[in-house]
Amino acid sequence: MVRAIQVTKGGGDGPRFVELNDDELGEGDTLVDVLWSSLNFKDGLALAGNPGVVRVSPLVPGIDVVGRVVESVDARLAPGTEIVLTGAGLGETRNGGYAERARFDGALAVPVPEELGARRAAAIGTAGFTAAQAVLALEDHGIPDGPIAVTGASGGAGSIAVALLAAAGREVVAVTGSPDAQDWLRELGAADFVDRAEFAEAGKPLQAERWAGAIDGAGGATLHNLLAQTRHGGAVAAYGLVQSAELHTSVHPFILRGVALLGINSVEAGAVERARVWERLARDLDPDLLDRATTEIALDDVVDAGAAILAGRTRGRTVVAVNPDAGSDAAATAETPVTTAAAAANDTDA
């Protein structure tokens, strides 16, 4: 039996801890011991029973899994391999990472990049993955030189977007409602700051041109204003709705300035895109900066942390230590029999 958090659609009596056996984890060709998960805004919604996220009931939330393979039909995923899977329905349409074991189809899982290791892969999680997708989308589209605005800058996705853009040599302007996060955002690479209150109300459909590009996790009036302030030929990559899911805008930025609105969906990313995104993250994200952006909590703390992220009381990324040492003995035996034998000999000597 493994320990798990379970929620029901609509919330019911709230999240509860349950014991599940392997047959209750769900369908899939790959079984993992979950080492780490993480906390995203969407996980906060799931823990609150939000029916837009909790699509099956009951559900183990947790849209990110970093796990060690127990068994898989996928030849890439030998027992003992550490893999990361974000989105792909985890914690929404199928059981996710807030359980000591998870079962899913392994085709979209990526071996944890060596440069990062398991904990950092979870610290990146969906939020960091999405930030990297947004950066790649701006680069693929091609934008002019000049400043790039990042909204929700002190949040999970926003903070990693700041770091990745700065690592790519871009001038980053952090749009934030958290003045106390400014020193830390400067360390991540923000060159300047704008109070998010400036974006709270929708302004004119075309405003002074400020941004070569933007990355937005807020939606609503914020996204409207970013579009209205983006320079000719620029682009806005949009992935979030913390302010509002509504977007009331005009066609003027598109037809008079050639501005592009690039939609980002991390959940449905295919295997080729996932490999590309993780490669970029492993290459460009400074591990020390990531560590400083990361708070670690235990599975027991997840419910409170879910309420905190919805209330805007978290900063950067939160990793969930589900069972970081799970299966490590078995993995050592499977992967490094010689070392294990040597260690056993040393033990005997001692």
Ligand X SMILES: NC(=O)c1ccc[n+]([C@@H]2O[C@H](COP(=O)([O-])OP(=O)(O)OC[C@H]3O[C@@H](n4cnc5c(N)ncnc54)[C@H](OP(=O)(O)O)[C@@H]3O)[C@@H](O)[C@H]2O)c1
Q: With respect to ligand X, which residue has the nearer C-beta, 134 or 299?
A: 134
Q: With respect to ligand X, which residue has the nearer C-beta, 79 or 177?
A: 177
Interaction between residue 323 and ligand X (CB under 6 A): no
Near ligand X by CB under 6 A: residue from 90, 123, 127, 285: 127
CB of 35 to ligand X, least distance (A): 20
Helix (H, G, I), strand (E, B) or coil at 42: helix
Give the Cα separation of 86 and 268 in Å (integer): 10
Interaction between residue 130 and ligand X (CB under 6 A): yes
CB of 335 to ligand X, least distance (A): 33
Say which amino acid occupies 284: D
Residue 54 tokens, joined: 């909790």
Instruction: Determine the residue with CB nearest ligand X.
Output: 155
Residues 162-191, interacting with ligand X (CB under 6 A): 176-178, 181
3-state SS record for 217-285: CCEHHHHHHHHHHEEEEEEEEECCCCCECCCCCCCHHHHHHCCEEEECCCCCCCHHHHHHHHHHHHHHC
Give the Cα separation of 226 and 140 in Å (integer): 19
Q: With contacts defined by CB under 6 A, how many residues of the chain interact with ligand X?
A: 34
Residue 122 tokens, joined: 């979870």
CB of 325 to ligand X, least distance (A): 27
Near ligand X by CB under 6 A: residue from 41, 98, 104, 193: 41
Interaction between residue 217 and ligand X (CB under 6 A): yes
User: Residues 235-274 vs ligand X: string with x where CB under 6 A?
Assistant: ----xxxxx--------------------xxxx-------
**Alpha-helix residue ranges (DSSP H) falling in the chain:** 41-47, 117-141, 156-167, 182-188, 220-229, 252-257, 271-284, 287-292, 302-310, 328-335, 337-349
Report phi then psi at 143, rounded to 5. Answer: -130, 160
Residues of the shown chain interacting with ligand X in the complex, contacts defined by CB under 6 A: 40-42, 126-127, 130, 151-158, 176-178, 181, 196, 217-218, 222, 239-243, 264-267, 309, 312, 314
